[in-house]
Every structure is written in C-alpha cells, then in structure tokens.
Chains A and B, each alone.
Chain A
Amino acid sequence: MFHPALFKLIGLLWRGSARQFRNSLKTARGLVMTGFIVSMIVYGIGSLYFVTHVAGKTPKIGGIFNDVQNDFLTLGLFVFTSGILLFSTGEATIFFTASEAAFLFPAPISRKQLVAYKLFNSLLGIMTVSLFFACFSTPSFSMLVPRLVGTLMTISFLQLLTMNVAFTRQLLEEKTSVLLRRSLGAVLAVAVLLALFQTSTTVQDLDVLKLSKAFQSSFAGRWMLAPFQLFTLMLRAPDWTTFLPYGSLILLLDLVLLTLVFRLDALSLESAMATSEKLTARLKMVQSKGVWQALARANPSVAKRKIQQLPYWGGIGPVVWQKLTTTFRSSNKLFWLLAAAIAGAATLVYFMSRAKSPPHVPPIVGSIGMAYMSLLICLSIQNEIERVGFLKSLPLSAMAVVLGELLGFVVLLSVIQSLFIAILAGCFPAAATWLWCGALLTFPLNFLLFGVDKLVFYIYPTRMAKGTPGDFQAAGKQMVFMMMKMLILGGAALIVGLASLPGALLFQSPVVAAATAAIVLVIECLVLVPFLIAAYDRFDPGMAITA
C-alpha cells in the first residue's frame, strides 16, 4: 500500500527542515530572527496555557470556558461540516506541491499509494494540532489520552470528509455536483432559517450564549445538530466509560470514510496536476501581487469594469487611476468579504438596537469595524517591487507617485467607512456625536496606516518568498517589519493622544478632542510625506530581501 520511496521522501523532507532550522541559527541575524519568532510562539503558547490552566481554574473563567465549549463545539462542527459539503472543492486535502507533482506523477507509484502518502502527511499534521488542542482543553491529566484521541478522530473526520467530497466531485459530472450542492444548500438554508425564526421569538437580548442555546434547542436545530452532538459528548467525556461508546461510533465513522477514500479510487493525476499548477500559480501571485489579485478570477468580463480616466493632477491622476482599476478588476473575493463583514455588522447592529445597548457600545463597534476594514485592505495590498521599479521608469515626480499610490485607496476607504459610520449614527442617535467625531479621523488615520506601510517597504523592499518548513527566519523578518510598523504607528498614536488630552480634559468635549486629534494626525501625515519621497527616491529593487 505504501511505496517505500514515499517514506523515504517524508524522512528526507523532515531532515531537510531540521537542517534548514540549524542553518538559520548560524548567522547572527538568523539567530536574532529565529529567536524572535520562537519567543513569539512560546509567548503565544504560554499565554494560552495561562488562560486555560491558570485563569481557567477560577470558577468564573472556568465557567465561561465550560459554557463556550458546551455551546459552541456542536455548532462549530455543524458550520464547518456544512462549509465542507457546500463550498469546499477539497483541493487543499489532495494538493500536491509542484515538486511532488513533478517527481511523483510520472514515477511508477500507484494512485492509491499517492493517496496514502497524502493521508499519512495529513495525519502528522492532525496529530500535532490534536496534541496542541488536547493539552489546552484537558481538565485533568488522566483525561489527556482520551481527549487527544477524540480530537484526533474529530479532525480526521473533517479531513476525510473533505477528501471524499473532492473525490466525489471528480467522479460526478459538474452539473450533477452543482445540483447536489444546491439541493443540500437549500435544505440547510430552510432548516437554519426555521431555527433562527424560533430563536428570535424566544430570545430578546444580545446574549450570544442564550442565542446559541435557543438555536440548538429549536426543533430544526435539534435535528440538524444531533449527529454533531456525538462529537461533543465524546470530546467532553469526563471519564473513559463515557468516552468509549461515543469514541467507538466516531471511529467507525472515520473508518467508513477512510474506506470510501480508497474505494472511490478517484485520484486523477490529471486534475491533481491541474490543481497543483493552479495553486502554485496562485501562491506565486500572492507572493508578487498580493491576495486580491491572487483570488481574482481571470475572465473577460472584468475588462468591462472601467474607471473613468482622472485628470493629470501633476502626475497623481494616472497613478491613482491605474491602482484603482487594478483593484477594481481583481476584487471580487474582497467585495464578498466586505459584504459578509457588513452583513455581520448589520446583524450586530440589529441585535444592539433591540437590546438597547449603552451609548458607548456603538462607537466601540464602529471603531473595531473601521480598524478591521483598514487593516484588511492594507494587509491585502502586496507591495510590488517590480511595480515600483516600473513607476520609477516613468517621467513622474516622486511626490506624484507617492501620493498617487496612497490617495486612491485612502480616499475610497475613508468614504466607505464614513458611510458605515453614518448608518451607525442613524441607528443610534444618542451616540451620533461620538461616531461623527470618529468619522473626522478616518482619512488621516488611513493615510498614516498606508503611508507607514509604504515607508517601511520603500526602506526595506521585501520580496515574499515561499516559506519552507524549518525556515523561521522568513517569518521572523515579517514579524520584525510588522513590529516596526506598529512601533511607528504606536509613536504617532501616542503623540496624538498626548496632544488631544489637554483639550479633552479642559473642555470635556469629544468634538474638541477629535478635532485636535485630527489636526495632529494631519500634521503627522504631512511630516510623513517627505520621508516617503526620500525613501522612494533611494528605493533600489536590487536591495530586495526575501521574507
């Protein structure tokens, strides 16, 4: 069943990753970068351990954990499984890297052996994740093993289900597959709507735990969630006696799915090669052009999306136009992401207005929403070394390029955010003053966020490299750059805070505080521009580093 060469490959890759890690410790810079990322990981795990094992021992926090696990485990599994059945192509579970495809596909290795190789690789990953989860969710050491086995079987269930979905899709005709998914989607949508309707009639306030409980105990909810309740009962079993019956059932389910994976025998090297090429190309696109363009589907209809040419404006106009057109034509997925965020925010606003939330809640929600939007867009735009090289070859001044690169996004984003704030202000008149004060800050804040991101990039042009296992240096470099940006932004925020504090204390007015903050922010933006121009002028694509 398992070709010995595949064991050999796994062993060699582990050895290679370990060597990569050792090599990264040989230079001072590598040592610092690796140390940095390792300490961040240790910090993350340590915090989690503290929260779950120290703070979690206290009755209050322990009680919250208990409620969260009880109420959301079943629901989470239901959502995840529905997502797999309705939307997943399963590509990721049967994804062969370009090198695997190049070496393994033309080699005398059977399709079943390749599937076994993928499963074995997945199992190693699943075991690591399970160990992590089990350690942090185990109430007592005696329950560590059953909790570990339970988590392993649960994640394996999701993984095997995804593989079966992928193989079934390959066996079925496209039309049949789409029809099946749509039918299942329609049934689920009706059931969820029924459950939501019953929930809204029983719960009147914005208590997420109450909402979740009501949803799960509704008639449709009980039917939908019953199979997933088994997983929760297994994972929450207090002792072996309770664990074994549920564990045996889940094990049986996993074995059935595993048998199906091999029985379907549907790994088509052709489609696996196509998937490998598609995902490899997408990865390259992410590295060079960013997430937006990587997610965009190339089709002729995008060429129809046109933005009117802007006036020249000393060279700023063409740069803004080019940047916005590119984004506009490659932003399908981002549009849906923002739409989902807005739908989520609308639901939240609806429940907040029903619950008659205190006046400080809407501004907080608004700030979080704005920050989310800004960060989402800022992080999605990949700075392209080649693009800057191209811009530098144009007969445009550094100021025109720098402002052109920034203004398009900043203006657009600020307008969207102001609309969002206007809606919130309309829904919550009591908090309107605070919200409008926030709107005053959107433009300079966005300019500063995007500007600092560009500044760090111009000074340290970074080319995204494909991460290889064991190479913590690249991740370390990215973290260092992120910290640099955070430090600059934190310093700017501190100055804004200190400058606007006296006015706010003296006049006790949010308007005065916001106006002062806006003025200071604008000054900071103006100070940033010469730095940006100088950094752009000395930008050298040859100095690019990989991270």
Chain B
Amino acid sequence: MIHVEGYEKAYRNTLAVQGLSFEIAPGSVLGLVGPNGAGKTTTMRAIAGIISPTEGRLLVAGHDVVQDPIAAKSQLAFIPDEPQLFEVLTVWEHLEFTASVYRMPDFASEAERLLEQFELTEKRDTIAQELSRGMRQKVAICCAYLHNPRAILFDEPLTGLDPRGIRTLKISIRERAAVGAAIMVSSHLLDLIEDLCSHLLILNRGRSLFQGTIAEAKSKLEGAGSEASLEELFFQFTEPATVAEPESTSP
C-alpha cells in the first residue's frame, strides 16, 4: 500500500534521509523509531506529499505522490504531532470541511460514529479554541479517519491523550489495520510501538538501521532472547559506540 524506493532528501549540505526503501503492506502497522533528527518526520511528510524527495519514488496505493499527488493523497491521511485546528470552527464543522475536501456528500453517519468512538459527541458544537490538547488530537484523528483512508500516517499520536483516549486510539488503529489499511506510526514511546506495531523501522541520521518484524528485531539483539525489550534493541542500534551497519534488504 505504501511503497518507498530509494528515497533521499537533501537540504543544502545535509542529507536528511538517504537511500531509504521500505514497504507497508495492507493490514500492517509499521513503527518508525529513531532519535531526534533521524528523519522520521521528513519521511512521513514526503509520503504525505508535503515535501518533495530529492531522489527516489514514493507510492501510495499505487499512485506516485510526486507524479500523481491528488490520487495518492485521496487514499491517505496524515496526523501531525501537533493537532492544528481552525480555532473558530466547531468540531462538527471540521468534519464537515474534511468531508467536503474528500467529496463525501453522505458523511454524517460516519462522522457521528467517529465522534462517539472518541467520546466527542458532547463536544460536537464546541469551537476548537475551547478544546483541551487531548480533545484537539481526537478531532484531528476523527477528521483523518472520516474518508476511510487506505494509508494512515501518525506522527507522535499519543501526545496529550488521557489513558482512555490512548486505549481508544490503539483500538482504532488495530481496527483500521484489520480492515486493510497500511499504517505508519512514528513515536519515541517504544512501549507503544512494541504493543501496536507488526513491523519496525529504525532510522538514525537519515539511514535505515533495521527493517523487519518486531520478532526479527528481537532475534537480532546480541545475547538476549525473545524477552529482550524494544528499548534495549533501540539503544543497541542507535548508540554511537555500537551503530549497526545500514540495512540493505527490504522486509
């Protein structure tokens, strides 16, 4: 569903991402982890068609995001780390506008279902300015889910959510994956990645250090069995003293 091939992004003298290739199959949840400045957000924004790649091809549902951005974006949802809403619009108006963007005349029942799922029904007519950080995040997620995207990108999705909100989001991600969406989650919360994702991609300084399933990742950890935590794995891959060789094969 999401296909990235030889993706590179350069800024003047800096190579932010180099030679990145991976694929997210329908129903898979890929966890994207890496230290700050690893190139996670750059990669997600490139897939979302917001920034253009210096090299390489990025496909969403078979559409090239550079050559055919409209078709690619129609199948995609991107939830950035900071939920940016229109301050004077109500929760419902955000959904109304989103439906209009994706040309969905009959959006009301799906919108109401999403509001109920994320416990926003009572806030339906509240303007964004009056919502808490967590609620704003929920509104952004509802808007992203509304057009039933086949590829969903989450950048730090749990920030600001309360425990119930976190549980709802996790359930919803699993549900979306179960119906065939390809999902990418970027987060520093390794527990979340371990809990939610089927696959893992570790980036450091724009290079892929590991790609594969979580189980494969654990099996790579030196001197540890399947009980090893993702945290240990992460540090083994990313600590300067033990930086692993870049991964050359795709999962």
Contact = CB atoms under 8 A, between A and B. Distances in A.
Say whether A and B bind each other: yes
A387 to B, nearest CB: 23
A469 B88 contact: yes
A368 to B, nearest CB: 39
B181 interface: no
A99 B84 contact: yes
Interface in B88-129: 88-90, 93, 96-98, 100-103, 127, 129
Nearest to A277: B82
Given A106-B50, A269-B50, A270-B50, A98 B84 contact: yes
B45 to A, nearest CB: 7
A20 B88 contact: yes
Nearest to A174: B12
A98 B82 CA distance: 10
A56 B100 CA distance: 51
Interface in A65-111: 97-99, 101-110
B78 A106 contact: yes
B124 to A, nearest CB: 14
A470 B88 contact: yes
A343 interface: no
Contacts of A264: none
A108 B97 contact: no
A458 to B, nearest CB: 27
Contacts of B201: none
B238 interface: no
A477 to B, nearest CB: 16
A102 B80 contact: yes
Interface size, B (range):
35 or more
A3 B100 CA distance: 9
Interface string B30-55: 00000000000000010011111000
A16 B70 contact: no
B81 to A, nearest CB: 10
Contact of B88 (A102, A109, A468): A468
Given A105-B50, A270-B51, A273-B50, A8 B70 contact: no
Contact of B76 (A20, A98, A106): A106
B7 to A, nearest CB: 14
Most chain B C-beta atoms within 10 Å of own C-beta, residue among A9, A17, A19, A107: A107
Contacts of B74: 108
Contacts, number: 97
Interface in A1-41: 3-5, 8-9, 12-13, 15-17, 19-20
B101 A103 contact: yes
Contacts of B86: 9, 12-13, 16, 99, 103
Contacts of B45: 270, 273
Contacts of A105: 48-50
Nearest to B48: A106
B193 interface: no
Contacts of A268: 52
A108 B90 CA distance: 22
Contact of B93 (A4, A16, A97, A269): A16
Contact of A16 (B71, B84, B127, B143): B127
B68 to A, nearest CB: 10
Contacts of B90: 16
A9 B98 CA distance: 9
B85 interface: yes
Contact of B96 (A8, A107, A110, A469): A8
B52 A270 contact: yes
Given A8-B96, A8-B97, A106 B49 contact: yes
B87 interface: yes
Contacts of B52: 268-270
Most chain B C-beta atoms within 10 Å of own C-beta, residue among A108, A268, A469: A108
A431 to B, nearest CB: 53
Contact of B51 (A103, A269, A470): A269
Contacts of A8: 96-97, 100
B207 interface: no
Contact of B87 (A102, A103, A108, A466): A466
Given A103-B143, A270-B52, A4 B100 contact: yes
B73 interface: yes
Given A4-B100, A109-B101, A270-B52, A16 B88 contact: yes
Contacts of B87: 99, 466, 468
A219 B130 CA distance: 61
B177 interface: no
A107 B78 CA distance: 9
B52 to A, nearest CB: 6
A108 B78 CA distance: 12
Nearest to A111: B69
B182 interface: no
A273 B51 contact: yes
B43 to A, nearest CB: 13
Given A102-B80, A106-B73, A108-B73, A269 B49 contact: yes
Nearest to A17: B88
Nearest to A273: B50
A417 to B, nearest CB: 41
Contacts of B129: 468
Interface string B217-247: 0000000000000000000000000000000
B88 A13 contact: yes
B77 A106 contact: yes
A19 B128 CA distance: 13
Interface string B139-169: 0100100000000000000000000000000
7 contacts: A4-B100, A5-B100, A8-B100, A9-B97, A20-B127, A103-B98, A108-B69
Top 7 nearest A-B pairs (CB, nearest first) are A16-B88, A102-B84, A5-B100, A270-B51, A106-B78, A5-B101, A108-B73
